[in-house]
Amino acid sequence: MKTYIITGASKGLGKGLAEQCMKKGNCCILLARSFSQEFKDFAKITGCKVIYIEADLSIPHEAEKAAAKISSHLQDATDEVYLINNAGMIDPIKPAGQLGRETLEKSMNLNFLAPVLLMNVFISQLEDKDMKKVVVNVSSGAALRPISGWSAYCSTKAGLEMFTRTAALEQKSAKLQVSIISFSPGIMDTGMQERIRSAEERDFADSAMFKGYKEQGLLRTPVLVSEKLYQLIHQNKLENGKFYDIKELI
């Protein structure tokens, strides 16, 4: 039985990937703040075992509880196991000096602390199991370069990117390795892009450029990107620590 753990699974890329993974004989452990009845009805007809964990991962104690629940389910894993850290937030979109503490803290928790906590549990629980074990941290080009107005987003994604590389490096000396990669989905037609386009130009200098992406039809669908990610993680050989970009896969 293949087991998939997906955060941010109720919408966007996470939802698209969950629908790819929900096949008969598989187990999907899905995390989100809430799930629609329509989503649950779809899951029922797939024949997949689905475990819902409703949690706000931007709140540390909820992230810790979610990690504990995942840990208990990982004990039953017998075949391939995948952790996809997809949940994230773009806010606060403000220049440094104008960042609100509460939103900044949520950004740090959701974009960095929560995926690190889940990775830590995943590696700890599975280090002695001889099976395919894969961690995917959904990243961004913003992890690799500064973007004005995105100081929090760039910093948290950069932090997660370095954690990914470091953890992957550590796995070289492990007897039964976990494959740990980053995946950049590029610009997708999601709620995050809506939020970016709604940002004031005084807060986000590239506002017009992102509006242009939408107007020119350059945004990829979450369905397409999730299909490519699904194909990627099931290939025979992943390069540990690599930053995979959607542009390389289409």
Q: Any long-range contacts for 233-237 (C-beta under 8 Å, 24+ apart)?
A: 233/82, 233/84, 233/134, 233/136
Choice among 52, 153, 213, 244 that is catalytic? 153
C-alpha of 111 from chain center: 9
Contact call for residues 63 and 8 (beta carbons, < 8 A) = no
The verdict on whether 52 is a catalytic residue reads no
* Per-residue b or e along 2-36, where b marks 16 or more CB atoms closer than 10 Å to that residue's CB: bbbbbbbbbbbbbbbbbbbbbeeebbbbbbbeebe
Stated length of the chain: 250
d(CA 233, CA 174): 20
Find out whether 165 and 241 touch, Cβ atoms under 8 Å. Answer: yes
Active site residues: 153
